[in-house]
A and B are shown apart, each in its own frame.
Chain A
Amino acid sequence: AQSVTQPDIHITVSEGASLELRCNYSYGATPYLFWYVQSPGQGLQLLLKYFSGDTLVQGIKGFEAEFKRSQSSFNLRKPSVHWSDAAEYFCAVGGTQAGTALIFGKGTTLSVSS
């Protein structure tokens, strides 16, 4: 079955500390992988995406993610977290066919402490 697992429901990180949000996926075909961020009451903003090539991808707001095929993982990282990064983060996987919808994980809520 196709699925995305985000093992951590809620994470608290101190401002300035590093961050890693975990994502594991199960997908039968070549996957496209995404990370989205959602601030309270807002829509979803694309942070970064992976299609092929270099397995370390850079996104907006200083985020990066590494695709590891052998581990079926696509973890999101940031070296130094800012208070404004507090939000909910969603990992998603999609197929390469036109019209393929995304399958989302249940999300990880990030809190930032001062």
Chain B
Amino acid sequence: NAGVTQTPKFQVLKTGQSMTLQCAQDMNHNSMYWYRQDPGMGLRLIYYSASEGTTDKGEVPNGYNVSRLNKREFSLRLESAAPSQTSVYFCASSEFGAGVYEQYFGPGTRLTVT
């Protein structure tokens, strides 16, 4: 049981390049999320998917797109990377039911845009 996995762990991009961050969970959770973490800012929500087939914008969606490929996988795409997107990106998944709300995080992807 791997929990939430993210690839790659590290990435360096040049301004204008594109890339996709991959996330997968094996806990059969319905909901998945992408956050970014910047120093002194805590974690801010980029996009989320409450259930398979749905996606919604979070607090900081500009410059990003997402795809909920199936129940397990939720990818984040940067179409044209900018230095302001240098950050640590965390994927998370959650389940709600019977009074339980659990949110689990992946190990993060450290992205640098030069």
Contacts and interface: CB of A to CB of B under 8 A. Distances in A.
Given A94-B101, A94-B103, A99 B50 contact: yes
A92 B33 CA distance: 15
A97 B30 CA distance: 12
Contacts of A28: none
A97 B95 CA distance: 10
Interface residues of A, number: 27
B61 interface: no
Contacts of B58: 101
Interface in B88-106: 90, 92, 94, 96-97, 99-106
Interface in B52-105: 58, 90, 92, 94, 96-97, 99-105
B24 to A, nearest CB: 15
Given A51-B99, A99-B31, A101-B33, A44 B105 contact: yes
